[in-house]
Structure 1
Amino acid sequence: MTDTPQTPENKGPAGDAPGADIRDRILDAALVHVAFDGWSADAIAAAASDAGVEPAAARAAFPRGGVDLARAFHLRGDAQLRADLEATDLGTMRFRDRVAYGVRHRLELIEGDKEIVRRAAALFALPQNAADGTALVWNTADVIWSALGDTSQDVNWYTKRATLSGVYSATLLYWLGDDSDGHARSWAFLDRRIENVMQFEKFKAKLRENPIARRFEKSPFNPLELIRAPRQSAAQNLPGSPRR
Structure 2
Amino acid sequence: MSMRPANLKQAVSLAATALATGVMPQAMPRDPARDAALRALAAVAGERGWGLPVLRDVAGAQAELLFPGGEAELVEAWSDLCDRDMLAHMQDTPEPRLSLRVREALLYRLPLDEAMRRAASRGVSAQLVGGGQAAFRREWMRTVNAIWMAARDESSGATYLTKRLTLAQVYGATFLYWLAGVPDEAALAAFVDRRLACVRRLGQARGLVVGRVMGLMGLIRPQAAG
Q: TM-score, normalised by structure 1?
A: 0.67
Map Cα deviations across residues 130-152 of structure 1 (whole Å, 9 max, x no partner). Answer: 23222222222222222333222
Q: Which residue of 1 aligns with 2:75?
A: 70
Query: Shift of the alpha carbon at 1:179?
Result: 4.5
Q: Which residue of 1 aligns with 2:42?
A: 31
Query: Would you say 1:174 and 2:177 are equivalent positions?
Result: yes
- Name the counterpart of 1:185: 187
* 2: CA distance, partners of 1:72 / 1:124: 12
Aligned to 1:52: 60
Cα distance in 2 between the residues matched to 1:187 and 1:77: 19
Q: SS of the residue aligned with 2:170?
A: helix
Distance (Å, rounded) in 2 between the aligned partners of 1:142 and 1:27: 22
State the secondary structure of the residue aligned to 1:108. Answer: coil
Q: What is the alpha-carbon distance in structure 1 between the residues aligned to residue 37 and residue 68 of structure 2?
A: 13
3-state SS, counterpart of residue 128 of structure 1: coil
2:98 pairs with 1:87: no
Indicate whether 1:159 and 2:162 are aligned.
yes
Q: CA deviation at 1:127?
A: 7.9
In structure 1, what is the Cα distance between the partners aligned to 2:54 and 2:81? 18
Structure 2 letter corresponding to 1:62: F
Letter of the structure 1 residue corresponding to residue 139 of structure 2: L
Q: Could you give the per-residue CA deviations for residues 172-202 of structure 1, whole angstroms, max 9, x where no partner exists?
A: 221222342x333222221111112112322
Provide the rounded CA distance (Å) in 2 between the counterparts of 1:53 and 1:21: 17
Q: CA RMSD in A?
A: 3.0
1:45–1:183 CA distance, 2 compared to 1 (3 A): same
Q: Distance in 1 between the 2:205 and 2:164 partners?
A: 17
* Structure 1 match to 2:152: 149
Q: CA deviation at 1:154?
A: 1.6
- Closer, same or farther in 2 for the Cα pair 1:178/1:158, shift >3 Å? same
Q: Which residue of 1 aligns with 2:9?
A: none
Q: Superposition pairs for residues 203-218 of structure 1, below 5 Å?
A: 203-209=205-211, 210-211=213-214
Aligned AA (1:169): G
Give the structure, 1 or 2, with the largest relative contact order (CA under 8 Å, sep 6 or more).
Answer: 2
CA distance in 1, matches of 2:44, 2:66: 17
More helix by share: 2
Tell me the distance in 2 between the aligned counterparts of 1:27 and 1:200: 40
- After superposition, the C-alpha distances for 1:83-132 in whole angstroms (9 at most, x for unaligned) are 111111111x4x43332221111112855422111112323434832232
CA distance in 1, matches of 2:44, 2:104: 31
How much does 1:7 deviate?
5.7
Residue 42 of structure 1 aligns with which residue? 53
Q: Distance in 1 between matches of 2:126 and 2:76?
A: 10
Aligned partner (choices 201, 204, 210) of residue 203 of structure 2: 201
Aligned residues: 195
- Listed as ranges, the gaps of 5+ residues in structure 1 are 1-5, 216-244
- Provide the rounded CA distance (Å) in 1 between the counterparts of 2:54 and 2:173: 28
Q: 1:24 to 1:213 in 2, by over 3 A?
A: farther
Q: TM-score, normalised by structure 2?
A: 0.72
Q: Identity of counterpart residues, as a percentage?
A: 27
